[in-house]
Amino acid sequence: MQVGIVGKPSAGKSTLFSASTLVDVAMASYPFTTIEPNKGTGFIRVNDAGNFFNVVSNPKHGFLVEKESGNIRYVPVELIDVAGLVPGASEGKGLGNKFLNDLSQADALIHVVDASGMTDEEGKATSGHDPCKDVIFLEKEIELWFLKIIENNWSKFGKSHEKEYRKRVELLSQNLSGVKILENHIEKALKKLGIEEKSFLEWTDEDKMNFATECRKYSKPIIIAANKCDLPSAEENIKKMKETFPEKTIIACSAASELALRKATKQNILTYYPGEKDFELKGELNDKQKEGLETIRKNVLQKFGGTGIQESLDKTILNVLDYIPIFPGGVKTLKDKNGNTLVDCFLMKKGSTALDFAYMLHTDMGDNFIRAINVKTKKIIGKEYILQSGDVIELIFNKP
Ligand SMILES: Nc1nc2c(ncn2[C@@H]2O[C@H](COP(=O)(O)OP(=O)(O)OP(=O)(O)O)[C@@H](O)[C@H]2O)c(=O)[nH]1
Ligand SMILES: [Mg+2]
C-alpha cells in the first residue's frame, strides 16, 4: 500500500513527508524544491491487540507506545512525496507528466494545501490566495492525466463494437492498470455513470471525462491536509474550505510544527508521540527553543487539537481506504518462536475474510486452509468469516 503526497509547489509536501518519516529531504520556500520523488515509511496509529489480553506487544515492524489508557501501535505504511503540480501539468506544464507518473502506484493521496493563502497557484509568495481553488485544480489535473491515458489508447479499442460487457471491462483494465485503476474501480465507475451497456463507439467526450473523474475517485481517493494552520491567515481559510467542500475530509495541519516536535523528540528535549495533543519538556532548553515550542503548543496543539499530520495518515488508511488492523496469533500463545508477543499487524481491506487473510500471509496457507480461530473469543471460524478491526486470528491449515 502506498500513499502519495501531492499538491502545488511550496505547499509543504516534503515537510509533511519528513515529519512523518523522519527522512531528511530538501524543503524550501521556492517552487520545485523536490524533483525526484522521496520514498519513506510513515506510521498509522491503531489500538494494539495486546491490550485485550493485558500483554505488551513486541512489534517487528513499526513500534508501540505504552499508555495507561491502552497501548498504541504504530503500523508502517509507504509514503511517496512528489514534485509540485501546477495547473496544466497534465499538458506538460511545470514538471508535468513526469510528476504524475511518480504517482501511478499510489492507492490514496494526501493533498497538501497551503491554507495560509500565502503562495499563489505556482507556489510563489503572495497573499490572499484562495486555497479552495487549489483543491479544485489538483483533482482536475489528475483526472485529465487519466483522460489522456484513456484517449491515447482509445484508437486501439475505441473502434470496436465489443458487445460483451466483461470484455469491455477487461480492455479498459488493460488500458489503466499502469496507474493502478483496477477492474472493480472500472466497474463501479461504469455503473455510477450508467454507461455499462454503451459500446466504445457510443462513448461521447463527456462520457470519457466523467469516466476519468469517477476512476480518480475510486482509485486515488484524496484527503486534504489544510497545511500551515500555524499561520494567522489560515484559520479563516480552513473554515471556508470546510464550508465549500462539506463532503471532503479536510484536516487542519501544521507540518512544520510536527517536524519541529519530532526533531525535538529525537534530540531528547521533549516527550511527544505523533498524534497527541500535547508534549512534555525535558532536558536543557534555551529560551529560543522554549519559546518556539510554547508557540506550537498554543497556536497549533491547543487550537486545533494536534498538528493534524498523524490524523491525516490515520484517516487516509482507516477511513478513506477502509483498512482494519488484523493480528496473527494463537490460542495457546501469542508469542512467536523467539518469545516475542504479537509481532505482526497487517492492514486488510474491510470486508476481507479469514481466507483472504490466509492467502495474504501465504498462498499455501490459503490453498490448504482448514479453519481458523478467533483468538479473542476462542471461537472457531470458517473461511467466509468477515474480519473485524483488531481481530487476532489463528489459522489451521494442512501442511503442504
Ligand atoms: N508556517 C509554516 N510553514 C510551512 C509548513 N509546512 C511547510 N512550510 C514551509 O513551506 C515551504 C515549502 O515547504 P516544502 O515542504 O519544501 O514544500 P513542497 O510542497 O515540498 O514544495 P516543492 O517541493 O517545491 O513542490 C518551506 O519554507 C517550509 O518551511 C507549516 O506547517 N507552517
Ligand atoms: Mg517538496
pLDDT in tens, 173-191: 998 999 999 999 999 999 9
What are the distances in angstroms from CA 355 to CA 9, 237, 361, 393? 44, 47, 10, 11
> In sequence order, what are the residues at sequence separation of 6 or more whose Cβ sits closer than 8 angstroms to the Cβ of residue 228?
12, 114, 115, 116, 118, 234, 253, 254, 255, 256
Checking if the pLDDT of 275 tops 80, the result is yes
Classify residue 27 by its DSSP letter: -
Please tell me the total number of residues recorded for the chain in this structure: 400
The angle at the Cα of 227, spanning 322 to 44, to the nearest 5 degrees, equals 35
Q: How far is the CA of 28 from the centre of ligand 1 (A)?
A: 6
Task: Determine the pLDDT at residue 92.
Answer: 77
In this prediction, residues 99-114 reach a mean pLDDT of 93
Backbone φ and ψ of 237, nearest 5°: -65, -40
pLDDT digits (tens, 9 = 90+) for 276-310: 999 999 988 899 999 999 999 999 999 999 999 99
Give me ligand 1 centre to Cα 60, in Å: 33
CA distance 239 to 230: 14
For residue 7, the model assigns a pLDDT of: 96
User: Mean pLDDT across the chain, nearest whole number?
Assistant: 94
Nine-digit cell string for 157:
479499442
Atom of ligand 1 nearest to the CA of 9: 25
Distance from C-alpha of 273 to C-alpha of 251, rounded to nearest angstrom: 19
More confidently predicted of 71 and 167: 71
Write down the pLDDT at residue 350. Answer: 97
What's the predicted TM-score (pTM) here?
0.95
Nearest residue by C-alpha to atom 14 in ligand 1: 12
Atom of ligand 1 nearest to the CA of 17: 15
Residues whose beta carbon lies within 6 Å of some atom of ligand 1: 7, 9-15, 27-29, 31-34, 83-84, 123, 227-228, 230-231, 254-256
Best mutation site among 33, 36, 119 for ligand 1 pocket (most ligand atoms within 8 Å of CB): 33
- pLDDT classification of 319: cutoffs 50, 70, 90: very high
Best of 6, 14, 15, 18 for a ligand 1 pocket test (most atoms within 8 Å of beta carbon): 15
Assess whether pLDDT exceeds 90 at residue 377.
yes
Task: Tell me the one-letter amino acid at 159.
Answer: K
